[in-house]
Structure formats: C-alpha cells, structure tokens
Structure 1
Amino acid sequence: MNKIDVILGKIDDLERDLRGELRNVQNKFFYTVQERKVRFSADVKAAHREFAARWVDYVYDSGIWVILTLPFIWMPIVPALILDVTVWLYQLMCFPVYGIPRVKRRDYVVLDRHTLKYLNLIEKANCFYCSYFNGLIGFVREVGARTEQYWCPIRHARPVKSVHSRYRHFFQYGDAEGYRKGLAEVRETFHDTE
C-alpha cells in the first residue's frame, strides 16, 4: 500500500469518526432520531419557539439587496429537479446492467430542518432548499463516483481539490499493467458501499 492509499484510508476513518461525533450531539441538544425522524420533547419544542424570529422582522432585517437576489438563489431549483430525475433514472436503468449497487438517495438528501421550532417559515423554506440542493449534489457525486469506478478507475495526474468516496479504489495514473490486470476486480469492488 502506498502513501496515497494510506492517506485516503485515514480520510475514510476520519469521516466515519465525524459521523459518529455528529450523532453524539443529539444528547447535548436533547433530541433523538427514530426511523429517520427527529424527535424533541415538548419542553424543548416550547423553548425553541421562544427563539423563533417573526417572518416580517426577518424579511425587514434582511434588507433590500438580499430580497432582490432571491430569484437568483431559487433559479437553480428547476435544473436541480431535472438533474435529480435524470440521475435517478440513469442509475435505475444502468446500474443493474453494470452490477453497480444503487445509491440510496435518502442517505444524501436529508430533509429534517423543517422540524426546528426556532426557525420561521422563510428560514424553514431556505433550509429545505439548501438541504435538498446540497444533498442532491452529494447523491449525484456518489452516482458519478460509482460510474467512474466502473468505467475509468484511474487517479488523476494532477492533484484534485476533493476526492470522492470511490477514489481509493482507483489505479495510479500511468499504471498501465495494474489497470489491465486489475480492472475486472475493481469493477466489482463495491462491498464497502452498504
């Protein structure tokens, strides 16, 4: 195993640790997650309502420039919905043919902030949009990563800003022999996706 593989392994371990720590925050803020639904006690919900800003004040405090940019913020929702449907259809139709396990969209598109009582209606809508959009990008990236692992699992020669979850299975740039000998095996190395 070379140093790049060791570093990628450490990144995987750190991401796993981060997910665990994020789960531990539940105790600090008195909520539980049951069957993918967030639950607060009645007392905590009541306390949260005290922190909610009235939407009228929220809009007024935002200022005219923020309000004028809203159409530009919300414009990408239409292409995002189209992307969502096409990527979902792509993996539905193609992944079984290639033997690639499907990506669970619900693992990436997490819509739970609307249950927070300290957010007003506008903040909830904004949080819904951001959760959907960023979750969708994560979902699409994972579908793309699994596709790349099947079709072209070769690392780049130049450093990339951020590597996806499947990159550690890729061959070194320029490793022609390793690529030819190991391609069939790498195309089937999805045991760690579940």
Structure 2
Amino acid sequence: MDELRERLRAAQQEFEAELDRRIEIQRERFRYELERGKVRFEKDMRDWQAKYRTGLWRYLTRGHFAYLLTAPLIYGLIVPLVLLDLSVAIYQQICFRVYGIDRVKRGDYVVIDRHHLAYLNGLEKLNCVYCGYANGVIAYAREIAGRTERFWCPIKHATRAADPHPHFEKFLEYGDAEAYRAWLESYRRGKVPKEDNA
C-alpha cells in the first residue's frame, strides 16, 4: 500500500504540473494575464469574446421555461451556503488554533473569476459567480472537515466511501486498536510531522 500511495502521489504531482502547463498555454492562446489576482484580457481578445455574447432578453426568452422555474430553488441555497461559509470560517479560526491544525486558506477554494469573460451576459456572469462561490465554499468546508477528522478520528471506514477527502488515505486501518492508541499518544502530543497536520 505504501508503494501504491507513493506512485499515486508522484502521479498526482505530474498531473498538477501538466495542469499548470496547460493553463499557461491557455493564457497565451487567449491572451490574458493575472495582475494582483485579477484577470486582464488584451482589448482585442475582449472584443472578440464580446461577439459571442447572447443578449439577456434573447437568453431568457430562448431558455427552457422549467429552467426559469427552478432558479429560486438554486438561488435559495445562498442562505445556507453563506451560513456554512461563515460557520466553518469561525470554527477553524477558533478550534484549529486550539488544536494546532494549520488553517485552510479560503482563497485556495473559493475562486470567482468567470465574470471577466466578455462572452457571458450579465445573468450568465451572475450564475458563474454563484457556482464558483457555492462549489468553492463546499470544497473549503470539506477541507476543514477533513483536517478535523484527521485530528479527532483518523480511522478508515469498514466500507469504501465514494470520494473520500485527501487526508483519508493517511488514516489508520479499521479495527487496528493498537495503532490507534499509539497514534493518540504521539499525535496529540505534537510528535507528528507537520504535513500530517495539513
């Protein structure tokens, strides 16, 4: 298992390097820069994109009526999402300091940048902002929950979960009482490497 984990880690690093390379290629192809976290397209590229924008009225009248009816359900989730965002932010600021767990950087998860695309109309931009926020908050909360689980109960389940968080593979085997007690002695006394804390 350790050998497989190491191969998986190496493959993940190779995958991330390839993603970074492809992003750089796309930046050159679509001529944009990141300036202090803001996307800046060259003017001719913005003009080219604008040619593909669908007007708001046309967008609304050509869409499925059922899609419009479900919009309040989608946007109604903003309240629990904001509460989740606020709750996990406060939780980690207090509890992670007490536990000595590295805090999660929200900006690594909540990425909102699609509204810079000139080929989107105002409603499409709003939808993209909403999706970036919603999925980012859920990923942010998942990472905070994963680090919490790593601290309090790092035991694998008896059955396989569909998509466990990245910390799960470091967890102790289900049923290994001896390893769990040994882990408690070392981990809670701060004798665990820093990368296991993140």
Q: Confirm or deny that 1:26 pairs with 2:30.
A: no
User: Quick check: 176-185 or 130-139, which moved more?
Assistant: 176-185
State the aligned residue count. Answer: 194
Q: Would the aligned equivalents of 1:171 and 1:179 in 2 still touch at CA under 8 Å?
A: yes
Which residue is equivalent to 1:132?
133
Unaligned 5+ runs, structure 2: none
Percent identical pairs in the alignment equals 39
Partner Cα separation in structure 2 for residue 154 and residue 162 of structure 1: 16
Tell me by how many angstroms 1:57 deviates.
0.3
Provide closer, same or farther for how the CA distance between residues 159 and 3 of structure 1 changes in structure 2, counting only shifts above 3 A.
farther
Secondary structure of the residue that 2:58 maps to in structure 1?
A: helix
Which residue is equivalent to 2:150?
149
Partner Cα separation in structure 1 for residue 6 and residue 37 of structure 2: 33
Tell me by how many angstroms 1:80 deviates.
0.6
Secondary structure of the residue that 2:162 maps to in structure 1?
A: coil
Amino acid at match of 2:16: R
Which residue is equivalent to 1:104?
105
Partner Cα separation in structure 1 for residue 197 and residue 151 of structure 2: 14
Partner Cα separation in structure 2 for residue 8 and residue 164 of structure 1: 15
Secondary structure of the residue that 2:34 maps to in structure 1?
A: strand
Amino acid at match of 1:127: C
Provide closer, same or farther for how the CA distance between residues 28 and 179 of structure 1 changes in structure 2, counting only shifts above 3 A.
farther
Tell me by how many angstroms 1:33 deviates.
2.0
Secondary structure of the residue that 1:154 maps to in structure 2?
A: coil
User: 1:60-79 deviations in whole A, cap 9, x for unaligned?
Assistant: 11121111111111111101
Which residue is equivalent to 2:43?
42
**What pairs with 1:111-190 in structure 2 (closer than 5 Å)?**
111-183=112-184, 184-185=186-187, 188-190=192-194
User: 1:80-137 deviations in whole A, cap 9, x for unaligned?
Assistant: 1111111110001110000001101011001111111110000000001100000000
**What pairs with 1:80-91 in structure 2 (closer than 5 Å)?**
80-91=81-92
TM-score (norm. length: structure 2): 0.87
TM-score (norm. length: structure 1): 0.89
Unaligned 5+ runs, structure 1: none
User: Quick check: 136-145 or 165-174, which moved more?
Assistant: 165-174
Q: Would the aligned equivalents of 1:95 and 1:101 in 2 still touch at CA under 8 Å?
A: yes
Tell me by how many angstroms 1:32 deviates.
2.0
Tell me by how many angstroms 1:4 deviates.
5.8
Provide closer, same or farther for how the CA distance between residues 15 and 80 of structure 1 changes in structure 2, counting only shifts above 3 A.
farther
Partner Cα separation in structure 2 for residue 64 and residue 126 of structure 1: 17
